[in-house]
């Protein structure tokens, strides 16, 4: 029997969702002008540790960041602020993904360094509130999730441009149980939201000279939203005649990333939110694990830098949090430096991470008491950054990697 009352209620609810999404489109249309960091008298960097291992690895990364920016912090040109309240305890207390006062503080910052936060799921001890990551990306309109993955030994140099505010995530906490038997979630693609992420990918391909973009969808099945992604890609590509591009379906791309004969061909990959979430974990695993990958969440006004992994509460429960690997958060610092006006320092920090994690490995993180602590590792990275021969050592690493790849 068809439940007319349930359908009517669902229709009204759906109407509200549509209204909110159309309002969001208007906000995207109105947003313009990105921040020119070199013109700011004072840059405010907010640091929020998150929960689980978050505060530990975030603090190790903060030490690295503060040492690299020491002069500008001393002169008052950069202020580093601690932002509290992004813990699961506090979020559960106020039943919000981000407490209002925390959000207000975040909005006063130009750049945010954020540790992992716990994302509860149905049935867990914590209330099933929205993920703090997802909420922050939406609240601050951080539409581009840029995730670089590089494995010189395998000739891999990938940059993923994951759409960060739409797709299956836009209404991820707003699905509806129409009746006891029927549950529905929603997938959202707007013209404006799709165009800006695709443009960001093409711009990156052009600026870096990589000149190759792969668009990844499942447009053969998810015909409307993914179909829109592909149609807009075709249009945007016309503005970049020098950039070669192609399109792939997410399933076969998942296979191609582990195809030794093809994977090093790919350079810039642009994809909707959920596919980006999944594919970047796979890519990070090829690089050495999700603990090695950082990500930049970029918007017009704000930007946030974080690890790509979760808060590993088990490590805290087992008393091992100080042994958690801060590489992902230090990588996030490098991405922040690249994004602001400190690209030279960002590059040096990336070289130091390569040397410490892949080449010299004088301090090794095992996640347990036999390995280095996060702070010891951070010190090792800083000592490496300070080495006058860092460029030459890094080149030796790359040469050895290229030679190994040829074998």
Which residues sit at the interface with ligand IPM, rule CB under 6 A? 119, 131, 133-134, 277, 308, 310
With CB under 5 A as the contact rule, the residue among 277, 306, 325, 342 that binds Mg ion is 277
Question: Within 10 Å of residue 263's Cβ, how many Cβ atoms?
Answer: 19
Residue 358 DSSP symbol: I
3-class DSSP state of 363? coil
Nearer to Mg ion, 277 or 350 (CB): 277
User: Which does residue 134 touch among ligand IPM, Mg ion, none (CB within 5 to 8 A, set by kind)?
Assistant: ligand IPM
Q: Give min distance, CB of 280 to Mg ion, in A.
A: 7
The nearest distance, CB 277 to ligand IPM, in angstroms, is 5
User: Using the rule CB under 5 A, is 342 a contact of Mg ion?
Assistant: no
Of 305, 291, 345, 306, nearest in space to 67 by CA: 345
Chain center to CA of 374:
21
d(CA 287, CA 217): 23
The CB-of-133 to Mg ion minimum distance in angstroms stands at 9
CB-nearer residue toward Mg ion: 169 or 380: 169
Contact map string, positions 220 to 259, toward Mg ion, x by CB under 5 A: ----------------------------------------
Pick from Mg ion, ligand IPM, none: which does 194 bind, CB < 5 to 8 A by kind?
none
CB 42, min distance to ligand IPM, A? 29
Between 116 and 201, CB nearer to Mg ion: 116
In angstroms, what is the minimal distance from the CB of 60 to ligand IPM?
Answer: 19
Q: What values do phi and psi take at 272, rounded to 5?
A: -60, 165
**Burial call 353-381: b when 16+ CB within 10 Å, e when fewer:** bbbbbbbeeebebebeeebbbbeebbbbb
Token code pair at residue 124: 């867990």
Q: Could you tell me the smallest distance in angstroms from the CB atom of residue 305 to Mg ion?
A: 15
- How many residues touch Mg ion under the rule CB under 5 A: the total is 1
Supply the DSSP string of 100-138, one letter for each residue: HHHHHHHTT-SEEEE-------TTSSS--PPPHHHHHHH
Task: Tell me which residue has its CB nearest to ligand IPM.
Answer: 131
Q: Which is nearer to ligand IPM, 161 or 397 (CB)?
A: 161
Choose between 227 and 310: whose C-beta lies nearer to ligand IPM.
310
Instruction: Decide: is 51 part of the binding site for Mg ion (CB under 5 A).
Output: no
Residue 269 — φ and ψ, nearest 5°? -120, 130
Phi, psi for residue 237 in degrees, rounded to 5: -55, -30
Spatial neighbors of 208 by CB under 8 A, at least 6 apart, are none
Choose between 128 and 369: whose C-beta lies nearer to ligand IPM: 128
**Where on the chain is the footprint of Mg ion (CB under 5 A)?**
277
């Amino acid at each position: 029997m068809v439940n007319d009352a349930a359908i009517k209620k669902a229709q009204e609810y759906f109407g509200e969702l549509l209204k909110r999404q159309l309002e969001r489109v208007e906000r995207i249309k109105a947003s313009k002008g990105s921040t020119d960091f070199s013109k700011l008298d004072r840059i405010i960097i907010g640091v929020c540790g998150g929960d689980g291992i978050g505060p530990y690895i975030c603090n190790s990364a903060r030490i690295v960041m503060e040492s690299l920016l020491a002069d500008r912090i001393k002169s008052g040109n950069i202020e580093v602020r601690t932002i509290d309240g992004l813990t699961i305890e506090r979020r559960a207390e106020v039943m919000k993904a981000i407490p209002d006062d925390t959000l207000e503080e975040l909005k006063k910052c130009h750049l945010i360094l954020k540790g992992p936060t716990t994302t509860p799921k149905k049935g867990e001890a914590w209330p099933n509130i929205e993920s703090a990551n997802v909420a922050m990306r939406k609240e601050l309109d951080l539409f581009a999730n840029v995730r670089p993955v590089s494995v010189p030994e395998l000739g891999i140099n990938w940059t993923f441009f994951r759409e960060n505010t739409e797709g299956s995530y836009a209404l991820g906490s707003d699905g509806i149980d129409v009746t006891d038997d029927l549950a529905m979630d929603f997938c959202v693609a707007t013209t404006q939201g799709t165009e800006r992420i695709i443009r960001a990918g093409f711009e990156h391909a052009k600026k870096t000279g990589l000149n190759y973009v792969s668009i990844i969808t499942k447009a053969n099945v998810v015909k409307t939203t993914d179909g829109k992604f592909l149609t807009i890609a075709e249009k945007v590509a016309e503005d970049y005649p020098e950039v070669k591009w192609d399109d792939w379906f997410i399933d076969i791309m998942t296979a191609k990333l582990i195809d030794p004969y093809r994977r090093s061909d790919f350079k810039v990959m642009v994809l909707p939110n959920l596919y980006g979430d999944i594919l970047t974990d796979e890519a990070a695993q090829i690089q050495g694990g999700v603990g090695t990958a950082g990500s930049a969440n970029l918007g017009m006004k704000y930007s946030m830098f974080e690890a790509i992994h979760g808060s590993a509460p088990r490590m805290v429960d087992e008393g091992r949090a100080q042994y958690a690997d801060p590489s992902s958060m230090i990588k996030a610092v490098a991405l922040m430096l690249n994004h602001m006006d400190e690209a030279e320092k960002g590059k040096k920090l990336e070289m130091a991470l390569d040397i410490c994690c892949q080449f010299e490995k004088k301090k090794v993180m095992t996640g347990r008491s036999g390995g280095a602590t996060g702070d010891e590792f951070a010190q090792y990275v800083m000592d490496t950054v300070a080495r006058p021969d860092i460029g030459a050592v890094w080149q030796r690493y790359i040469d050895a990697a290229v030679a190994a790849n040829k074998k």
